[in-house]
Amino acid sequence: MVLNPNIIFYVLIFFSVYVQVFFLVTFFENRRKIIVRNNKIKITKYPAVTIVVPCWNEEATVYKTVCSLLNLNYPKDKLKIFLIDDGSTDGTWNAINKFSHYPNIKLFKKENGGKYTALNLGLLHTETDFFGGLDADSFVDPESLVRIMSYFEKDPSAMAVAPSVVVYNPKNLIQNAQKAEYHMGVYMKKMLSFLGAINVTPGPLTIFRKKVFNDLGPYRHGHNTEDMEIAYRMQKNNYKIEHCNDAFVFTSTPGTIKKLYRQRLRWIYGFINNTIDYRDVLFRKKYGNFALFTLPTGIVSILAVSYLFGQIVYDLGDFLYSKIIQVRTVGWHFTAESINPDFFFLDTHSALFLVVFIYSFVIFAIIFGRKMAEGKWSFSPNIFYFLIIFRILAPFWFLKAIYNTILKRKPSWR
């Protein structure tokens, strides 16, 4: 038996494989319960819903966002829309003013206080039993709301229902990579909903029973990830969060590495710090799979990504050091050895096969997530863009988030 002395490495690989197998087993257990509705559906009662659109400098997209809300296949008199200008400095207020004559749309303008304050202002004025937010850079599918509401009708114990968030109009490599990632997100969120262990109720169109906020209080800052903090709070209080896989929301995604980095830094920072805030939940079995699976999974992935990155940096440094010594000793020269394609020199450590297993599971997740989102089984090169781009970039925001947490520096929104 070939043994690698690097125990930490194998422990992390073990947990990573465990997580993927856990998702897969959950999938096979529940696959018959995954329903994708392609047609228009009707529900018996259409409860009134308030949707709040917090806007901060979103003049470019907010018009389209509101139009998509107005296009929802839902009775107009049951849908209240609040457009809240959170102290924008651009033409957002003018953009939303175009909707002032709609009877079911209310406009608010306030001083900038952060997204959670805008949502809370909306909550304050909400008189309906259901409440949801929609980010001003996202667009809803016309059928999304009615499909979400069908979950509440079916299950009176459901306290929040999250939609499937997919990438809107991907244009470049970075956005196509995210498209694959969001497909994986659809799959994972569905599996987490089967486990009762969802840890984010995404800003784009998660619908809550208003009771959640009456019982647990309004949104909090939540380290700039208020949609994560409220999900943690709900899990802590045993409030059920569902995922409606066929309710689609299209969201604009960062188109540059820098913007992606900032967004992910905020997400990971939010994960780390909300988990620290809710550390008393961790590994406590009364909080269910959320405490025993979701949170540990996030922690393991942060450790694994950071560790593997450290190892790559070390290996690269080692290689460069050796090359430098070679060059200093004998000067530049290129040997034929380095391009000798002999199978013998292919690394066949058990880690290689384990990594292949993990990648296979991830690829399955992306393909199945796409099946749930687009209704087709297909393989797209986006998967490789995702695997390669995120493999290279993710460690940077992971490490920076850890660094910021240690120094208690808070990342900005954008």
Residues lying near another protein in the complex (CB under 8 A): 1-3, 14, 17-18, 21-22, 25-26, 29, 157, 196-197, 235, 238, 240, 285-290, 292, 322, 325-326, 329-330, 333, 335, 337, 344-345, 347-354, 357
Q: Which is nearer to another protein, 346 or 406 (CB)?
A: 346
**Least distance from another protein to the Cβ atom of residue 287, Å:** 6
The helix, strand and coil proportions of the chain, stated in percent and rounded to the nearest 5, come to 55, 15, 30
**Least distance from another protein to the Cβ atom of residue 338, Å:** 12
**Least distance from another protein to the Cβ atom of residue 156, Å:** 13
Q: Which is nearer to another protein, 3 or 407 (CB)?
A: 3
Q: What stretch of H or E contains 243?
A: strand 240-251
Q: Which is nearer to another protein, 279 or 323 (CB)?
A: 323
Tell me the three state secondary structure of residue 251: strand
Distances (CA, A) of 277 to 70, 222, 272, 338: 38, 9, 9, 51
**Least distance from another protein to the Cβ atom of residue 40, Å:** 31
Q: Which is nearer to another protein, 49 or 291 (CB)?
A: 291
**Least distance from another protein to the Cβ atom of residue 166, Å:** 28
**Least distance from another protein to the Cβ atom of residue 317, Å:** 15
Q: Which residues pair with 289 in a beta bridge?
A: none
As a whole number of angstroms, the distance between CA 312 and CA 318 comes to 10
Which residues are CB-neighbours of 243 under 8 A, at least 6 positions away? 161, 162, 163, 164, 189, 190, 192, 193, 198
Q: Are strands 105-110 and 79-86 parallel, antiparallel or unpaired?
A: parallel
Would you say 135 and 203 are in contact if contact means Cβ atoms under 8 Å apart?
yes
Q: In three state form, how does the secondary structure of 107-126 look?
A: EEEECCCCHHHHHHHHHHHC
**Least distance from another protein to the Cβ atom of residue 266, Å:** 27
Which tokens is 302 given?
């942060």
